[in-house]
């Protein structure tokens, strides 16, 4: 099964159902179930904003299904879905990966990679 790496707290916010669209600079034809991987890096500013202290890193932490992709043409379009992706800038990307069937799993240590990658 494939996996997608995200910095914390973004992986945790997806697992909590507070973030249902993942913004990326790149598009994919992939659709289906994948692992959510918490990378070894954290977004420290966002950790403070969301009041997280210690979250799993370098681990598979959940699963989700990528059901569709929305392409945001400009910042105005992006901001319409802010409550779903929690981003306020188009600099993060214009491709919104729409997620469904999100489930938390017991963290499994695993090295992440860029893009979608195969978990063996």
66-106 confidence digits (pLDDT tens): 999 999 999 999 999 999 999 877 788 999 999 999 999 99
Sorted by sequence, the CB contacts under 8 Å of residue 120 that are 6+ apart come out as none
pLDDT in tens, 39-72: 999 999 999 999 999 999 999 999 999 999 999 9
Q: From CA 8, how far away is CA 47, in angstroms rounded?
A: 7
- Cα distances (Å, whole numbers) of residue 115 to 52, 57, 65, 86, 92: 25, 17, 15, 20, 14
Q: From CA 36, how far away is CA 60, in angstroms rounded?
A: 6
Per domain, the residue ranges of the chain are 2-118
Q: For residue 88, what pLDDT is reported?
A: 76
**57 contacts 38 by C-beta, under 8 angstroms:** yes
Assigned CATH for 2-118: 2.30.130.30
Q: For residue 92, what pLDDT is reported?
A: 82
């Amino acid at each position: 099964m494939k996996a997608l790496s995200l910095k914390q707290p973004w992986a945790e916010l997806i697992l909590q159902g507070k973030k249902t669209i993942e913004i990326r600079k790149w598009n994919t034809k992939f659709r289906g179930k994948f692992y959510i991987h918490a990378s070894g890096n954290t977004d420290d500013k966002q950790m403070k904003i969301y009041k997280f202290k210690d979250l799993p890193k370098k681990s598979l932490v959940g699963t989700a299904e990528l059901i569709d992709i929305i392409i945001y043409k400009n910042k105005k379009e992006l901001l319409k879905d802010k409550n779903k992706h929690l981003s306020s800038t188009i600099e993060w990307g214009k491709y919104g990966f729409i997620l469904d069937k999100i489930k938390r799993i017991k963290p499994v240590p695993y090295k992440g990679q860029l893009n979608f990658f195969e978990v063996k």
